[in-house]
Amino acid sequence: MAGVLENVTDENYDELIQSPAAMVAYGIASCEPCAEYDPILEQAASRFANLRIGKAKMHIPGRCREIKKRHNFETYPTTHLFSRGELLVSREGKIEEAELEALIKEYFPGC
């Protein structure tokens, strides 16, 4: 669903990251930088139509249990960029809008 910020769960995670261009931001409700990151993610989702962008709400019980088993998160938010299931880059902390745009253009020039 390019163009919208997708909710990521264990059920749709693999399908999303298998996309040619995908980004997942992992966060928790009690994290202030995570809340500040949400509008930046929504803006990016609306700007980059060929990039699937999702948000995994790691604090909701049972929602991202398998995702937690696959990744070791030390900091929230953490952002991963994927192409066809391959993790291209991992960034910890909130990424400012200009930096996120540059990162997307670097890894997904066609977006």
Q: What is the DSSP string of the chain?
A: -TTSEEEE-HHHHHHHHTSSSEEEEEE-TT-HHHHHHHHHHHHHHHH-TTSEEEEEETTSTTTSHHHHHH---SSSSEEEEEETTEEEEEEESPPPHHHHHHHHHHH-TT-
> Mean pLDDT score of the chain, rounded to an integer?
94
Residue-range definition of the domain harbouring residue 64 = 5-107
| Per-residue pLDDT reduced to its tens digit, 1-17 | 557 899 999 999 999 99
pLDDT given for residue 111 in this prediction: 83
Give the CATH number for residue 31.
3.40.30.10
pLDDT given for residue 110 in this prediction: 83
pLDDT given for residue 2 in this prediction: 59
pLDDT in tens, the chain (111 residues): 557 899 999 999 999 999 999 999 999 999 999 999 999 999 999 999 899 999 999 998 889 999 999 998 999 999 999 999 999 999 999 999 999 999 999 999 988
Number of domains comprising the chain: 1
pLDDT given for residue 3 in this prediction: 74
